Structure 1
C-alpha cells in the first residue's frame, strides 16, 4: 500500500509496524492518518471486527456475571479537577399527574468517560485525527450546517465492544518489596512504567491479544475515596493538578500500537500528569493516541468491583461492552460500560 510518500507493509494483524509511523511524511509524530481512509472516524476501533468481537464473547463469557465500571455521574459533588462543571440533577414533578421528569446537566468528562477525537489535538500542529482543525469543528459548512467531523456519534453506532484486560497495578504494587512502590502517590506525578505493566501481566498470568481493550488500575479511586472534602478541594485548586499514570515511554507507545483497540484507567489522565514528554517521546500520549491513531482513551473508570471479581476468579480478562452516548458532534462521553465474565 502507498500512503503519502511511503510504501507501507502490513503485518499479520493488518496494521503497519510502529516504525512505519507516521504514514505520511507531513503528518505529526507517529500519526497513522489515512490507514483507514482520509475521512475515517473510528481509528483503532477498526480493529474490533465482527470476528474478533465474536471470538472474545466465546472465550470470555463463562458465568454471565456483570460488573459495572462506571463511576457515578455525581461522584465529584463539591468540585471537579480541571475546573470542570459538576453534575446537576433536577427532578420536575408533572402535577396534577403522578409523573416526574428530570434534567441532567454535566460535563461529559466529570466522571467515567471516553475521550473522543475532538478532545485533544497535537498542540504544536493544532490538528486532530486525520488533520481535522479547530475551524473544521467549530465552523458550519457553506449551508450553515453544524460540523459533525470526529464527533463521538461515530463510536456510538457499534460501541466499544471486545475483550478487556485489566492490569491491576495497584494490587501488584502492594505485593512488591521495593520501597519505591510504597512511596507511590496517586495524587502526584508517579509513573507506571513499561516494566511495571509487563511484570503485572506476568504475575497475573494474563495474555494480551490483538484488539484488546487495555484497562489499568492505578489505585487512584481508592486514594480519592480516602480524602476529605477539604483535601480534595486543595488538590483540585491548581490549574495543573498532579496525577499518577502510565509513563510516556516509547516502548509503551509501541506496545499499545501493536496490541490494543482502546485504553483506559481509573485515574483522571491516562498518562502521568502534567504530561511532560519523556526522552524520545516529544509528544504526549493524549496527542498520539487520540489525534494520531484515533484510539479511545478512557479515564476515571471505577475498577474496584472489577478488581475484586478478577481476583476471586483468578483471571483478569473479560468481555467488555461500552455504548458511548449518541451525541452528534460530541467531544467525550460517559462509557456506559460493563465487564462480563
Structure 2
C-alpha cells in the first residue's frame, strides 16, 4: 500500500490513504455538530468500517500464526439479568414431528449481552443527530439508514490489539479495583498497560504500533467479576436504577478522545456493559456520542476476553486477527457480535 495523506477538506475521504487528519484537523461540515467526522460520503452507513479495505484485511491475515481460535461472545443467556431494564434472552424448543424433528426460537434484545452498538443506537445528544446527519425520524421510517445490515454485508475482519488493563492494574497495585464500580481508565493508564505488554500506543504515522483499521479490545474485568458473584448478587446489581449503575471503563477525558480518534481504529470493544466508565463524568459527557454519532465507529460491549487474554499472556502476543459477523437484519439497531480472535 503506497503512502498517501488524506487532505482534511477533500471529501469524500479515500479509505486507502495511510495517514488521516487528527481530531483537531477535522473539516467543518455544514449542518454537522462540532467534531463530526462524516467524511466517507453522503449516503455512507459504514463509518470507520470503510478502513477495512481488501489490502488491509489481507495484511491483517498475516497475524495468524498458530491458528488458535477464541470465541469472544458470552453465551446468549449471560447476563441472566441484563442491566438497564433490558429483556433477558429467551429460548424455546418446538417439536415439529413427534420424536423426530425439532426447531427452536430465540427472543433477544441485542443490547442484553455481548453486542455491537450500531449507529442507530446513540445520537449526538445536543443536536439529536445520529451518524452522518440522520435524525430519529430517519431511524423509525427508513430501514436502510444506519442499519446494522450494512456492516453485515461489508464484513468485519481486521488486525486487533488487546489491552489487558485489569491484569496490569492488579499486578501493579496492592489492592485491585472492583469492575462493578466507576473506575475510569485514562490514556495514561492504557499507555502504561500497553508498555508492559510491549506495545507503543501511538498511531503508526507517529512511529507507534497502531495501524489504521485496527480493532481495539480493552479488558477491564467485568466478566471475571460477574462469575465471582452469586446469581442473586448479579440480579441485585442489574436491578439498580439507571442513576445507580456503576461500571469500570474508559475515562471521559480529552487526551483519550484525541487518541481514540487519531488512531483510526475501525472499531473498539470492551468487556464491560458500557465500554466507558459509568456513569460518565458530568464535565465531558458520554463517549458513546463521540464514537457512534460523530465518528461512525462500531462500539462493542460485554465481550468475553477471558480465555483470549490468558492465552495472549502465555505466549506474549497481544496482536491477532479478528473477525465478526453482525446480524444481517434490515433496520437493525445493534447485533450480537459473533466475534472470533485467531492467534
**1:20 CA drift (Å):** 2.0
Are the aligned partners of 1:22 and 1:29 in contact in 2 as well (CA < 8 Å)? no
Q: Give SS of 2:235's match.
A: helix
Q: Give SS of 1:170's match.
A: helix
Q: Give SS of 1:161's match.
A: strand
Out of 162, 167, 176, the residue aligned to residue 163 of structure 2 is 167
Tell me the residue number matched to 2:179: 186
Q: How far apart, in 2, do the equivalents of 1:337 and 1:10 lie?
A: 23
**1:195 CA drift (Å):** 0.6
After TM superposition, the score normalised by the length of structure 1 is 0.90
Are the aligned partners of 2:121 and 2:334 in contact in 1 as well (CA < 8 Å)? yes
Tell me the residue number matched to 2:51: 47
Tell me the residue number matched to 1:203: 196
Q: Give SS of 1:83's match.
A: coil
- Residue by residue over 1:34-91, the C-alpha shift from the partner in whole angstroms, topping out at 9 and shown as x without a partner, is x101111111111111111111101x111111011111111122x2100100000000
Tell me the residue number matched to 1:232: 234
| 1:1-341 matched pairs, under 5 angstroms | 3=9, 13-21=18-26, 23-24=28-29, 26-33=31-38, 35-58=39-62, 60-77=63-80, 79-96=81-98, 98-139=100-141, 146-177=142-173, 182=175, 184-206=177-199, 207-236=209-238, 237-240=240-243, 241-259=245-263, 260-278=265-283, 282-341=284-343
After superposition, the Cα gap between the structure-2 partners of 1:272 and 1:29, relative to the gap in structure 1 and judged at 3 Å, is: farther
Q: Give SS of 1:28's match.
A: coil
Are the aligned partners of 2:114 and 2:303 in contact in 1 as well (CA < 8 Å)? yes
**1:275 CA drift (Å):** 1.9
Cα RMSD between the aligned structures?
2.2
Are the aligned partners of 2:15 and 2:51 in contact in 1 as well (CA < 8 Å)? no
After superposition, the Cα gap between the structure-2 partners of 1:232 and 1:321, relative to the gap in structure 1 and judged at 3 Å, is: same
Gaps of 5+ in 1: 140-145
After superposition, the Cα gap between the structure-2 partners of 1:224 and 1:29, relative to the gap in structure 1 and judged at 3 Å, is: farther
After superposition, the Cα gap between the structure-2 partners of 1:169 and 1:318, relative to the gap in structure 1 and judged at 3 Å, is: same
Are the aligned partners of 1:147 and 1:329 in contact in 2 as well (CA < 8 Å)? yes
Q: How far apart, in 2, do the equivalents of 1:200 and 1:29 lie?
A: 31
Are the aligned partners of 2:247 and 2:272 in contact in 1 as well (CA < 8 Å)? yes
- Residue by residue over 1:95-123, the C-alpha shift from the partner in whole angstroms, topping out at 9 and shown as x without a partner, is 23601000000100111100000000011
After superposition, the Cα gap between the structure-2 partners of 1:97 and 1:83, relative to the gap in structure 1 and judged at 3 Å, is: same
- Residue by residue over 1:152-194, the C-alpha shift from the partner in whole angstroms, topping out at 9 and shown as x without a partner, is 00000122210010000011111113x5xx2522111111110
Q: Give SS of 1:16's match.
A: coil
After TM superposition, the score normalised by the length of structure 2 is 0.89
Q: How far apart, in 2, do the equivalents of 1:86 and 1:225 lie?
A: 17
Tell me the residue number matched to 1:143: none
